[in-house]
Amino acid sequence: MTAADALTPADAPPPHPVTRTSASAAPATRGASGHGAGSAALSVAIDIGGTKIAGALVDRRGTVHATARRPTPPSTARRHGAAPAGAVGAACASPGAAAEAIMAAVTEVIATLARSPEWARVTRCGLASAGPVDAARGTVSPVNITAWRDFPVRTRTEAALARHGAPVPVVLVGDGVAMAAAEHWLGAARGRRNALCMVVSTGVGGGLILDGRLCPGPTGNAGHIGHISVEVDGPPCPCGSRGCVEALASGPAIARRAAAMDWRPTGADRSAAAVAAAARDGDPVALAAFDRAGRALAAAIAGTATLLEVEAAVIGGGVAAAGEVLFAPLRRHLATYAALSFVRGIEAVPASLGTDAGLVGAAAAAFELLPDPALDAADPAPPRRA
């Protein structure tokens, strides 16, 4: 077994309520009624993104028992040369081969987790992916993984789990829905009965908590706030519409807006992070670029609150890491857009789970959307509800 195959150490203190255990616990035994019987349930959690595929074993308290990670292989076809270091499949001769190389990385993550002594406690699997996803069909077509178009990731994952002795059900959710599940379970939306959770980064996604429960919708895309139009004559969006939140408030949109306003950075970096740094230093153009993003987010949040009476918007992602550079104008504009009495009290708060949100959310979605009464009745710590 190579170093890359080893279970990731699980003893580093995380910056949030997620806890981790050592992977050296005594093996659980399989009960007569099936995989994971007779012991506290674990979910396999898999988070598929454009740069990495991460996996974990998570219990119903949110404790992470083992983790594994692989880089996401490139989607572009390769006929010559090597893939980036650590990528599965050094050369992809066709788009089909690229798609299979990515699935092979998912399978390797599962194989690594299956070596954990806790594997026998697995009762289900949550699969979070960049979208669009089609949870009803179990397929994904991620914008940032072009080799996967209508890829049957759920059935392929079920088959991989079964090959490693875990014939368990799999639920597929979008990454925004996973983030909502995570923040409601252990993060900033904990205790909220109605919340909108948003990821504002290279793109803008989201998920909904309504009446204390995760609401992924029929295809797993409910709450995808990034493609609500908030500017009728706004810039075109890659989705085909105009004036979408993503076209106005994502990291690339903020950087484009600053450049269009003739922003002059002190160095070569023209990213949204550099614009945020300049805004902290009082640069008026950088502040204006973030003000526009905050206004777009505020309009979308207020519209969602008016429609669904959510009480809070929990915002994470790389752009949200700008802190008050983003949240100050967002809250200021929210006070204007959320004008009706029943939405006036809506709060905009930063997410708290950081980079673990996808994995924790995949597990939370699995426990909530794939209940197993026979196994869960004996479990001492069911998922926390609002």
Judge whether 3-177+356-376 and 191-351 match in fold: yes
247 Cβ contact list (under 8 Å, min separation 6)? 234, 235, 236, 237, 238, 253
pLDDT for 274 equals 95
In whole numbers, what is the pLDDT of the chain averaged over residues? Answer: 84
Chain segment 18-37, per-residue pLDDT in tens: 565 544 333 333 333 345 54
| Secondary structure (3-state) at 195 | strand
CB 201, CB 318: distance < 8 Å: yes
Chain segment 59-90, per-residue pLDDT in tens: 999 999 999 999 999 886 444 344 444 444 44
Q: Is domain 3-177+356-376 annotated with CATH 3.90.1150.10?
A: no
**What order of strands is seen across the sheet that includes strand 42-48?**
64-71, 52-59, 42-48, 122-129, 170-174
Q: What is the CA radius of gyration of the chain?
A: 21
CA–CA separation, 235 and 243 (whole Å): 5
Parse the chain into domains and list their residue ranges. 3-177+356-376, 191-351
Query: Mean pLDDT lowest for which of 38-47, 131-140, 314-323?
Result: 38-47
Peptide bond into 132 cis (omega under 30): yes
| The listed CATH number (3.30.420.40, 1.10.287.130, 3.40.50.300, 3.20.20.70) that belongs to domain 191-351 | 3.30.420.40
111 Cβ contact list (under 8 Å, min separation 6)? 164
| DSSP H helix total and E strand total for the chain | 10, 12
Chain segment 332-369, per-residue pLDDT in tens: 999 999 999 999 999 999 999 988 888 999 999 999 99
Cα–Cα distance list, 127 to 32, 44, 109, 176 (Å): 27, 8, 12, 12
What is the arithmetic mean of pLDDT over 35-50? 78
CA–CA separation, 314 and 299 (whole Å): 15
